[in-house]
Structure 1
Amino acid sequence: MNTQPTEQPTKTIRRFISYHQNPISVLLLSTIVGIIAGLLCTAFDIVIDWLVNGRSTWVKTEGGVSALTIAVVVITSALLSAFGFFLVKRFAPEAAGSGIPEIEGALDNLKPVRWWRVIPVKFFGGIGTIGAGLVLGREGPSVQMGASVGRMLTDLFRINDDEGRHTLVASGAAAGLAAAFNAPLAGIMFVVEEMRPQFKYNLISIKAVMIAAIAATVVYRSLQGQGAMIPLPAHSDVPLTALALFLLLGLIFGFVGVIFNRLVIITMDGFERLHQHKTGRFVGIGALLGASFGVMLLLLPKLTGEGVELIPNSVNGNFALSMLALLFMARLITTLICFGSGAPGGVFAPMLALGTLFGTGFGMFSMHLFPNMEITAGMFAVAGMGALFAATVRAPITGILLVIELTHNYELILPLLITTLGATMTAQVVGGKPLYSQLLQRSLAKQKAANKPSPTPQKPSSDAPPKP
């Protein structure tokens, strides 16, 4: 009889992973990161859809807008939003907002990734605030949760070298965005382009990012289908004589993007002065926002939520020019309020809606000025989606790929290139900085101020991760 003790499976795995200099082990772990991040982000998407669609169905079965439905929706939205704000304030302040600046800071070894707190807080908190009807996107939470999954695996398998930890966190970020938008190319390019100051590019890291994005997309499509997330009608080729109009639209968006970024910072500072980092005030603001957007869900639904449903309506010409202007201004205000409040949620989807509304209006005005030119407002709507993203985030290629993968409008690549390039160049010329870089610098400055020696002793916090 063999009396030799058998090695435990977990020890075998750890022994394999301990050779993390071997690219095969890093690529294997990036696959696992992609699968877990894909499952987590797809579940996040499904639960939010269930909550939003369930509320809409209930209102219809109760006969539409009435005193009863308004009261129930307002109360539930206030509770959901307050719940999300409370989780952030009490357990993981770094989960406020999109969380993308936190991941960029982590890739630069400037920020910790407390995945054991961030993942549940971002998941349930994001469901609360987005489900309450606030103007927030799902992509920010997905990116932060995906990157946190990457860090979780490095802790579980005790990967201690910076290169391996960095690669898996970046892979998780790409997987999160890919699963959020069903857009693997955009997820990959987001890490390579937008996170270029932090991302350590080499053959292993880029392969790991690609594998994680692919795995997350396969998971998403297996559960949610393979169709375009924002199906739009195909457009004919844009006349070459009209390309100057797309360049002009991009130049305008460059200024709009810089103004938008500054307004985000101003709004955040205003909310901080309002709640003064006090839990009661912070949660109270969340409840008030939830109640307000609960009312708007029934009376002004176009001003609530991510705004993705507005994109096909705009492209199909369902809004007059005056309505487009009103919607753009109103949603600009609601986007700034919700994102600036510190609620857990992203801003990608709301920005895409804003870009579409502005682009559609520009297209309708251009059609009026040049009636003989073979252009449609929908062409400019699609170009506007990528242009505002490029001007604010300063990632034109990511914006182009994101729009193409979301809409399957491959015919508009050339106008998208011209518009996003014009927007990016204008934003750079006028001195604007990328949104997430500004938010990261703002967060680091506050962190530095908070870490100054205090005259009174502070109780040490238990921020150590659970031992694997």
Structure 2
Amino acid sequence: MTSLAGAQVLSAGMPKAEPLSARKQMVDKSQLPGTVFQRIEKLQDRSPFIIVILACLVGTLTGLIGSAFQLAIARIIEWRLHSTSLLGDATAAKYLLAFLIPAVMGFVAYYLVKQYAPESSGSGIPEIEGALLDLRPVRWARVLPVKFFGGLASLGSGMVLGREGPLVQMGANLGKMVSDISHYDKQKTQYALVAAGAGAGITAAFNAPLGGIIFVIEEMREEFKYSEASIKAVIAACVCACIAYQMIIGTSPILYLGQAALAPISSLWICIVLGIFLGILGVLSNHSIIRTRQALDKLYDKNRWIFPCTGFVIAGLIGVVGLASPQFTGGGFAIIPDVIAGAYALWPLLVILLVRLLLTVLSFGSGAPGGVFSPTLALGTVAGVSFGLLMDQLMPAPALPMMTYAILGMAGLFAATIRAPLTGIVIVIEMTGSYALILPLVLTCLASTLTAQTLGGLPLYSAMLDNTLAKLGIQRKHEA
């Protein structure tokens, strides 16, 4: 007993023994100066290159999935329209099939969301913003397949939705997946890679790498954790996503409309008036979407089957509308060239504006897995050209070309609804190649954003995240 007690006293005064692996590691690092391991370790202290490498992987995966997503949607739409056309002149049968095919696709999309990943509802961008605040989960193993196949079903059905929302959420979830699998300094990499994946999603949706970077910095300004490493990660991911996208889809802008002419200084006041009009329209659109979502959420809580049945009805009805008037349905990029070319007079354009606004509110407000960027850009084009036609009737000579009104309308309505003017400007410029319109774009977006803010309109994604958190009894603080 005495010897045992003495041994305990001696051991108490000695430093605790290191595990063998740790001692071996210390010996290796101390006895082998200048090894590759030490050089990498010192390099990592000076530059976060490991995080950047992981971000490159996230961006590449997002670009590949985004390209596959775009090609698959186009193929599904082509198959759906071809199936309906096989019935020839059988009008009743064609309309029945035009209802049933999209209706089944809508049911499948909504069912996948309800059954397996409710956070996949809508665009998913508010969920990613909540995740960056540690207020929402990122369950990539569930969200990735649900968002991919659910998005294919909802967008392929012809609903008025865009692919950018699903790609942002899938990109962010890929960032979380890479962070979890790599096990590299999870606390440091997780937020950076989730944000990097979100920016890569915007890049893959619009072939707009700078737009993806600005989107994270501006739209996610309250949630994004700024650091030297995280900024580099976002840039690297967006660049790699763009390279992957262009290798598969091509390098051309997704909506090249021709060379935009410089706007005369004497016409810049028109940009401000147009911005005010778009600001009012943006407030109306956001208010309608948020109220529709709140009303339907109460209905969905009553029975678990109401949500997928809602998808069945909405997608089926939009399929019938699309058979009769294709310009009313889909993301809207297909009608932009016709609108700019003058295929529609003022009153038909106003009808398209009203119907597309209602179908956008219905599609996105119902919780379908899809985005609202593309429908907003199309809606802004119609609104801008409608405004231009009205101005041409009121003024003795045309002040601006219709293409200019269309491009300003895209960016201005985007800025008013998302409340991210820089993102809207950059994305529209990269999409259309309209670098000559920077000054008019800035004026229009500034006027639309100030108008929306003055009228008390809420940023769409921020308001939707607040509604989600409110149902959980959580209230977040907003920056002033």
TM-score exceeds 0.5: yes
Q: Which residue of 1 aligns with 2:340?
A: 315
Deviates more, 1:110-119 or 1:307-316: 307-316
CA gap 1:354/1:291 in 2 versus in 1, 3 angstroms? same
Tell me the TM-score normalised to structure 1 length: 0.89
After TM superposition, the structure 1 = structure 2 runs for residues 297-446 of structure 1, keeping only pairs within 5 Å, are 297-446=322-471
Would you say the 8 A contact 2:85–2:94 is kept in 1?
A: no
Quote how far apart the aligned CAs of 1:61 are: 5.0
> Residue by residue, what CA displacement relative to the aligned partner does 1:178-232 show, whole Å, maximum 9, x if unpaired?
0011111111100011101111222221111111011111111111111121121
Q: Which residue of 2 aligns with 1:4?
A: none
Q: Which residue of 2 aligns with 1:5?
A: none
User: Counterpart of 2:147 in structure 1: which amino acid?
Assistant: K
Following TM superposition, the consecutive aligned residue runs of length 4 or more in structure 1 with deviations greater than 3 angstroms are 19-22, 57-69
Would you say the 8 A contact 1:231–1:312 is kept in 2?
A: no
1-structure distance, mates of 2:80, 2:456: 44
Would you say the 8 A contact 2:180–2:186 is kept in 1?
A: no
CA gap 1:342/1:277 in 2 versus in 1, 3 angstroms? farther
- In the alignment, structure 1 residue 182 sits paired with structure 2 residue 239: no
2-structure distance, mates of 1:20, 1:343: 43
Deviates more, 1:404-413 or 1:341-350: 404-413
Would you say the 8 A contact 2:339–2:382 is kept in 1?
A: yes
Would you say the 8 A contact 2:168–2:198 is kept in 1?
A: yes
Q: Which residue of 1 aligns with 2:5?
A: none
Deviates more, 1:67-76 or 1:86-95: 67-76
- In the alignment, structure 1 residue 253 sits paired with structure 2 residue 274: no
User: Counterpart of 1:432 in structure 2: which amino acid?
Assistant: G
* Percentage identity across paired residues of the two chains: 43
User: Counterpart of 2:263 in structure 1: which amino acid?
Assistant: V
Indicate the SS of the match to 1:448: coil
User: Counterpart of 1:343 in structure 2: which amino acid?
Assistant: A
Tell me the TM-score normalised to structure 2 length: 0.87
2-structure distance, mates of 1:360, 1:243: 16
Quote how far apart the aligned CAs of 1:65 are: 6.6
Correspondence for 1:37 among 49, 62, 65: 62
Quote how far apart the aligned CAs of 1:60 are: 4.1
1-structure distance, mates of 2:165, 2:76: 19
Q: Which residue of 1 aligns with 2:73?
A: 48
Quote how far apart the aligned CAs of 1:290 are: 1.9
Quote how far apart the aligned CAs of 1:271 are: 1.4
Structure showing greater Rg? 2
Q: Which residue of 2 aligns with 1:116?
A: 141
Q: Which residue of 1 aligns with 2:17?
A: none
CA RMSD, 1 decimal? 2.1
CA gap 1:277/1:311 in 2 versus in 1, 3 angstroms? farther
> Residue by residue, what CA displacement relative to the aligned partner does 1:352-386 show, whole Å, maximum 9, x if unpaired?
11111111011111122223244222211110100
2-structure distance, mates of 1:373, 1:43: 43
After TM superposition, the structure 1 = structure 2 runs for residues 129-148 of structure 1, keeping only pairs within 5 Å, are 129-148=154-173
Q: Which residue of 2 aligns with 1:92?
A: 117
Quote how far apart the aligned CAs of 1:308 are: 0.9
Would you say the 8 A contact 1:144–1:176 is kept in 2?
A: yes
| Structure 1 segments unaligned to the other structure (5+ residues) | 1-12, 450-468
Indicate the SS of the match to 1:279: coil
> Residue by residue, what CA displacement relative to the aligned partner does 1:130-177 show, whole Å, maximum 9, x if unpaired?
111111110000000000000001111124543311000000001111
Indicate the SS of the match to 1:111: coil
> Residue by residue, what CA displacement relative to the aligned partner does 1:325-371 show, whole Å, maximum 9, x if unpaired?
10001111000000011110010000011111111011111122223
Quote how far apart the aligned CAs of 1:283 are: 1.0
Would you say the 8 A contact 2:179–2:186 is kept in 1?
A: no
